[in-house]
A and B are shown apart, each in its own frame.
Chain A
Amino acid sequence: MRCLLVEEEVHQFSNLVKSLSGEDVSKCYQCGKCSAGCPIASEMEILPNRIIRLIQINSKDTVLSSSTIWLCVSCETCFTRCPEDIDLVTVMDVLRRLSVEEGYRCPEEGILRFNRFFLASVKNYGRVHDLGLIVRRNLASRQPFKDLGQGIALFRRGKIPLRPQGIKGVDQIKGIFAKSKPFVEREASGGGGR
């Protein structure tokens, strides 16, 4: 009986990840192909295959507070090459959303902030307004002149419109933002699962 209880506890995090992503990380046998092909691996404190191992052994805090989950650039190389067909990109998405939902500190603040500014632009105008986005990013990160040279060069070529392009359906977009939840609401299956 005791063993059963412990086993349930041990699988708590991998079960949560499975219910939210549909991916069974217990299939991973640590071949390491995901990390071998990952273009960002050299910048990661914990390699992608180790993230999977940490999920398997229930190390939730380590995973959700790691910079790795934010440094995944969603290039899909890992998923493409995984011999067990584990969609690690979707798993990373789930880990990022979980980390925000559960209030973990994000070690890559700039990325999280950029995502928010990007989505605010989409919500307000229906499309992304590059100039507004970069100005907000630079002000928030206190680097007002970051990428200024590139910005001016692009502007001179007429590639950075001053004003945002609005769309007619902007109210519908605002509605989509208001209704969207971090995870899809599933039918009475108790917290998701595909």
Chain B
Amino acid sequence: MRYGYFPGCALHSTAKEYDLSIRLSCPYLDLELVEVPDWSCCGASPGHMTSEELALALPVRNLHQAERHDLTTVIAPCAACYSRLKSANKEVREDAHLMSRINRVVGEEFTGKVEVRHLIEVLYKDVGLSRIESSVTKPLNGMRFACYYGCLLTRPPKVADFDDVENPIIMDRIVEALGAEPVSWSHKTECCGAGFSITRPEIAVRLVDEILKAAQFAAADSIVVACPLCHANLDMRQSQAKNKYGRNYNIPILYISQVIGLAQGEAYKALGLDKHLVSPGDLLKEGLGGF
């Protein structure tokens, strides 16, 4: 199965290990990823806050790059990129006038023949649980994961339409197929405030604290995510949550692709598991008897 791959800015910097582990684990699942040539930033929140045209034109430039190279489906592993690319695609496809105006801004002729999908959607729907299960050589038995979806993997349901909006289960099913136990918990889709992690960190720290508290309450030993912004925020702000609220969590935040790679027998370092601020080293040593 051949897919276009839109890593997005974070996967080339703070979320390097997400990129590494996707590239390592996907071949086991017969997923061939072709990076969208010369991709550019989707504009993210600063884009849509500032300009409606920019918020459409930056994604459309990338969709056109994919279309030009015959990549009919683009996988975006970042929830924010996924949301921006998919909603821009939807808007221009549904309005011919808007499409021609945005094409004028971009200076290209995008025709709308590209589908935007998130990584976990493709893993669940196209690859399927049985193929994921059969790629497992080192089952993650005994591991208790809190699968965290955050905002944009399920919201708004008009854009992110592949899972239940209030109680998504795709990642839970995937980690189950790997032999791990997905915990039932309250904060699957609560916002982590990553959008303010830089500008209003005290808000982000409060929201991170609530999410970590809920994961701890559910006796999860780590949180599994599918968004680089959720990851950076939950991983990086734990020490501040401890300073402010006095709770010592030390809960490793793992990417879904790292968890899949571990179950496929890939190495700790190769999956970039050494790159997290909250080290999953001890947890994986104890839980899996080494790696």
Contact = CB atoms under 8 A, between A and B. Distances in A.
B130 interface: no
A167 B236 contact: no
B200 A173 contact: no
Contacts of B53: 179-185
A169 B65 CA distance: 10
A56 to B, nearest CB: 23
Give the dominant DSSP class at B's interface.
Answer: helix
A39 B207 CA distance: 8
B13 to A, nearest CB: 5
Interface string A18-62: 000000000000000000000110010000000000000000000
Contacts of A167: 38-40
A105 interface: no
B13 A180 contact: no
A119 B155 contact: no
B106 A176 contact: yes
Interface in A116-170: 116, 118-119, 122, 126-128, 130, 134, 137, 147, 149-150, 153-154, 157-161, 165, 167-169
B54 A177 contact: yes
B203 A43 contact: yes
A175 B107 contact: yes
Given A39-B190, A154-B236, A176-B105, A74 B58 contact: no
A119 B46 contact: yes
Nearest to B65: A169
Contacts of A147: 198, 201
B64 to A, nearest CB: 10
A172 B61 CA distance: 9
Interface residues on B, range: 35 or more
B38 A168 contact: yes
A80 interface: yes
A93 B46 CA distance: 10
Interface residues on A, range: 35 or more
Contact of A73 (B55, B102, B106, B195): B195
Contacts of B112: none
Interface string B47-62: 1111111111110010
A130 B98 contact: no
B160 to A, nearest CB: 9
A22 to B, nearest CB: 10
Given A74-B45, A93-B55, 5 more contacts: A80-B157, A97-B49, A128-B41, A169-B40, A172-B107
Interface of B: 9, 12-16, 38-41, 43-58, 61, 95, 97-98, 101-102, 104-107, 151-152, 155-157, 165, 190-191, 193, 195-196, 198-201, 203, 207, 236, 239, 274-275, 277
Interface of A: 39-40, 43, 71, 73-77, 79-80, 87, 89, 93, 96-97, 100, 108, 110-111, 114-116, 118-119, 122, 126-128, 130, 134, 137, 147, 149-150, 153-154, 157-161, 165, 167-169, 172-173, 175-177, 179-187, 194
- The 9 closest A-B CB pairs, nearest first, are A76-B155, A115-B46, A75-B191, A180-B53, A75-B151, A180-B54, A118-B46, A128-B9, A126-B40
